[in-house]
Amino acid sequence: MSFATKQKILLIFSFILGLGLFFWLGRMIGWKEIGRAFEVFTGWQGLIIIALSFVIAYLGALRWKEILKDCGVETSFINLFKIYLGGYSMMYLFPILVWGGEFYRMYGLVNEKHIDWRKTTASVVIERILEWTVNIIFIFLGLTYFFYNVFFPPKEIMVVFGIALLFFVGILSFFYTKVYGKESIVKIVVKKFFKKEINIDNGALIVEKEIYEFFDFKNNSFKKGIILSVLRALVMQLRTWMLIFFLGSVIGFWPSLSVLSFTYVSSLIPIPTSLGSHEALQFFAFQSIGLTASMATVFTMIIRAAEIVVSSVGMIFLIRSGFSLIGNKFLNNDKNQ
């Protein structure tokens, strides 16, 4: 069975799993109650939630631009934002395609802007590591408050999502240990799995060098990247707080951080748009902080709707770049003939 076939099977399986979870929760809570509360999204409140979702994407693209600047790459922010949204849509709608959004962003810069692939690869890897470094910190803070002050989730949920969380924490811990210990991860991987040494001028080592140089406490771009990542997470928390307020409840900073941390955790499981997994986690979280189960489902549906609006814009750029690639191939074939 080919890799592409396996990816398709996993995509279908993950979507069916998420859909099953979603409908199970919908039947348990009641579709009518969910439908009435969902009217919030059709008014000005929905526009605010969508606007904040675009601000979140904007800050992500701004962080990427800062990283590229540190790598010695200058490019138009508008063009960069389009490429970022295209990759963003792939990551959100098709998370089972591991690194699909990242590969698209690498392709976008290399193909359209003719930028060195080693620099684009380094920038995308750095951006992802920064993203999840801050995400893990917010998850830790939110879950610490939740477990200590509110409620301890069922064992089944703890096992599934706990394994995913530990996996990400383990990868990040391994990365930072090697970076600050000045040990090459590429050399370790090549030696362990391919049983050979790697040349010093190898492209992978050059990419790794760019990444290691960025993660230096003396590097101002690293500091700016962390600040932008924290700001992005805080805007996500603001969106969380405001949506719960629009749904008729007011909660404090720490409870809203707990809700956000469960949003982050749900994204660790590669289900398209976190369908079902997000509802399952927030179902327990909302009830535990004194909110209703129906509000939890409406909350996740509105967040998903806003993210799909942003992703839809990204898909337009994604499709356009796909047609551009096809056109370029035809032109090149004509020239060769």
Neighbours of 241 (CB within 10 A): 19
Confidence class for position 272, pLDDT limits 50, 70, 90 = low
Query: Residue 330: pLDDT above 90?
Result: no
Instruction: Give the residue extent of every domain in the chain.
Output: 3-328
Query: Residue 332: pLDDT above 50?
Result: no
Angle, helices 77-93 vs 44-70, to 10°: value is 110
Which position has the token pair 């976190």? 274
Give the separation between CA 86 and CA 88, rounded to whole angstroms: 5
- pLDDT tens, position by position, 60-82: 999 999 999 998 888 889 989 99
pLDDT attached to residue 163: 81
pLDDT attached to residue 15: 52
Q: Which two tokens stand for residue 299?
A: 């909350």
Give the separation between CA 34 and CA 36, rounded to whole angstroms: 6
Give the separation between CA 151 and CA 142, rounded to whole angstroms: 12
More confident residue, 97 or 146: 146
- pLDDT tens, position by position, 189-222: 888 887 787 877 788 899 999 999 999 989 999 9
Q: What is the mean pLDDT of the chain?
A: 81
